[in-house]
Amino acid sequence: MSAALPAAPRRPRWRWWGVLLALALLFALAAWLLQPPRAGRALLALAGDALGLELHADAIDWRLRGTPQLELRGLVACEPGAPRALLRARRVFVALPWRTLRTLGADLTVQRIALDAPVLDLPALQHWLAGRPPSETRLPTLVDGLRVRDGRIDNDDWRIEALAIDLPALHPRQPLRLDVRGRYVAGTLTLPAMLALSLDTPQRLLDRQPAQLVARGRLEFSGEGWRMPAQVFLAGPLRIGRDSALMQPVRLGLDARYQSAAGSTAFRLGLAAPMAFNDASWRFVPASVVLEGDPQVPRARARGSLSLGARLRLQLAGEIAAWPAGWPPLPAPLHASSTPLAFTLAYDGAPDASGPARITLRRDATALEAGFRLPELLAWLDAGASGSPLPPLAGTLTTPRLVLDGVTLDGVQLQLDAP
């Protein structure tokens, strides 16, 4: 007689309904989170908590297929309670490889970054950085680089407008190449620039070590009634600080043309000096300067100091090799001397060099001490024989002998008055 097997106990039906309900809730939660606006806001909140920032965006979109991508429109980033945002942007696009997400940033690789109309407030950024806990500063690897359009950087006493950056790729410990366009503005100084930059090792800058910088491109100085487009070359070891930069030494070359209604003058200028940038001023002290160019440009060498910012300050002392061929000829017996002309030049005024300057010239026993304004002097040189025979100088000329229209004058002292 066989024994009957006991019947398997029946699971309460509510357990099955509980599992189904839990799965349904999990699916609903996933569906809710995977909606870009909600997921984006959650990600922004997490990122803001990690960075100590309040992050807001008007619109959020993201994609997970292929390379994950995140697009934010109307982004605002600021410290809690701060009066000014440290960053605003019309659009931010970021593409991150899956390995960066899986390692939670331990592998700091970014596929591509693009920013449209970003506005960076430098003092607000510095305040936030000063409050961050000490940690290793790392640069990301940008596989497909960075693109910035219509950007702006605001500082207390200077700003950069119409900023555009094209960076094909970034590897922190490999040479970097990028193209930069923008307009530097400080007080009355406006300086459009288009530069190609190379840096040997970007990470060295963050490590407060010098990195070799080379810049080539185009600048344009301008003022009322004149402009001076220039090709520029700059090279030297760069160090950066909180709001400063130092290159020691720097080699700077300008190939420029001064243009006004009276004419144009081409010249080339070379400069070697330590360069410091701080408080919206570039300072070159001590500087060695070489100048040459068209016939009306003196071939000169000098040493001294130069700073450019809200004001242009210049102090130079040197020699002019010979009387320039494009200048009116000297009277006898001054024209017969082959001695170089020792000179000093001093200027402290508007950055367009339109203000009053002082010059001294000395050759043998002849000396000139005079004041002048550069635009007036250049216009006089451009006029040539059709203009006034006397330069627009105000000062004193002393010489032991002078021959004018066949008349010999001894112990001459002339008082010059600018027209």
pTM across the whole model: 0.81
Distance of alpha carbon 361 from its chain centroid, rounded? 36
Q: Please tell me the distance from the alpha carbon of residue 392 to that of residue 27, in angstroms, as a whole number.
A: 86
Q: For residue 407, is it within any domain? A: no
pLDDT at 384: 63
Does residue 189 lie within any of the structural domains? no
What is the pLDDT at residue 21? 44
| Cβ contact 357:345 at 8 Å | yes
207-264, pLDDT tens digit by residue?
A: 888 999 999 999 998 877 788 899 999 999 999 877 789 999 999 999 999 888 878 8
**Is 308's pLDDT higher than 80?**
yes
How high is the pLDDT of residue 386?
Answer: 61
Domain assignment present for 72:
yes
d(CA 371, CA 360): 9
Q: How far apart are CA 297 and CA 255, in angstroms?
A: 13
Task: With cut-offs at 50, 70 and 90, classify the pLDDT of residue 39.
Answer: low
pLDDT tens-digit profile of 368-405? 999 999 888 877 777 765 666 678 899 999 999 988 88
- The rounded distance, in Å, linking the Cα atoms of 17 and 48 is 39
What pLDDT is recorded for position 163?
A: 97
Q: Is 263 left (phi over 0), alpha (psi -120 to 50) or beta?
A: left
246 in a domain, yes or no?
A: no
- Lowest mean pLDDT across 115-119, 308-312, 346-350: 308-312
pLDDT at site 28: 42
- pLDDT of 40 reads 63
pLDDT-derived band at 36 (thresholds 50, 70, 90) equals low
Partners of residue 181 on adjacent β-strands: 164, 194
Residue 187 within any structural domain of the chain: no
Share of the chain above pLDDT 90, in %: 49
Q: Which of 16-30, 71-85, 327-341 has the lowest mean pLDDT?
A: 16-30
Please, which pLDDT band fits residue 25 given cuts at 50, 70 and 90? very low
Name the band, by pLDDT with cuts 50, 70 and 90, for residue 288: very high
Lowest mean pLDDT among 23-27, 72-76, 321-325, 384-388: 23-27
Q: Torsion angle of alpha carbons 328, 329, 334, 335, nearest 10°?
A: 150
Look at 74 and 69; give whichever has higher pLDDT: 74
Cβ atoms within 10 Å, residue 189: 20
Residue 90, pLDDT > 80, answer yes
Q: How confident is the model at residue 140 (pLDDT cuts 50, 70, 90)?
A: confident
Cα–Cα distance list, 194 to 104, 140, 180, 229 (Å): 37, 25, 6, 11
Which of helix, strand or coil describes residue 125? helix
Percent of the chain whose pLDDT exceeds 70: 86
Check whether 314 has a pLDDT greater than 70: yes
pLDDT at 142 over 70: yes
Domain that holds residue 55: 35-172
365 pLDDT band, cuts 50/70/90, is: very high
Asked whether the predicted pLDDT for residue 354 surpasses 50, the reply is yes
Distances (CA, A) of 124 to 46, 116, 128, 234, 375: 21, 20, 6, 30, 41
Task: Give the pLDDT confidence score for residue 327 in this predicted structure.
Answer: 82
CA atoms within 13 A on the CB side of 380: 16
DSSP conformation class of 44: H
Q: Could you give the C-alpha distances from 122 to 29, 67, 245, 285, 386, in angstroms and in order?
A: 40, 32, 15, 27, 53
Residue 51 lies in a domain: yes
User: Per-residue confidence at 67, pLDDT binned at 50, 70, 90?
Assistant: confident
The mean of the pLDDT values for the chain is 85
Q: How many domains does the chain have?
A: 1
Q: Is residue 27 part of a domain?
A: no
Q: How far apart are CA 330 and CA 405, in angstroms?
A: 13
Q: Tokens representing 40?
A: 């984006």
Q: Is residue 109 part of a domain?
A: yes
Tell me the average pLDDT across 320-329: 88
Q: Is the pLDDT of residue 22 over 60?
A: no
Q: How high is the pLDDT of residue 30?
A: 44
Q: Over 80: is that where the pLDDT of 307 sits? A: yes
Give the DSSP letter string of 146-192: EEEEEEEEE-SS-EEEEEEEEES-B-TTS-EEEEEEEEEEETTEEEE
**Which of 163, 234, 215, 149 is CA-nearest to residue 192?**
163
* Tokens standing for residue 311: 């004001």
- Residue 105: per-residue pLDDT: 62
pLDDT attached to residue 280: 78
230: which 2 tokens?
Answer: 């220039």
Q: According to the per-residue pLDDT averaged within each range, which of 13-27, 37-51, 132-146, 258-272 is highest?
A: 258-272
What's the start-to-end Cα distance of the chain, in Å? 139
Stated length of the chain: 419
Q: How many helices (H) and strands (E) does the chain have?
A: 6, 24
Largest CA distance in the chain: 158
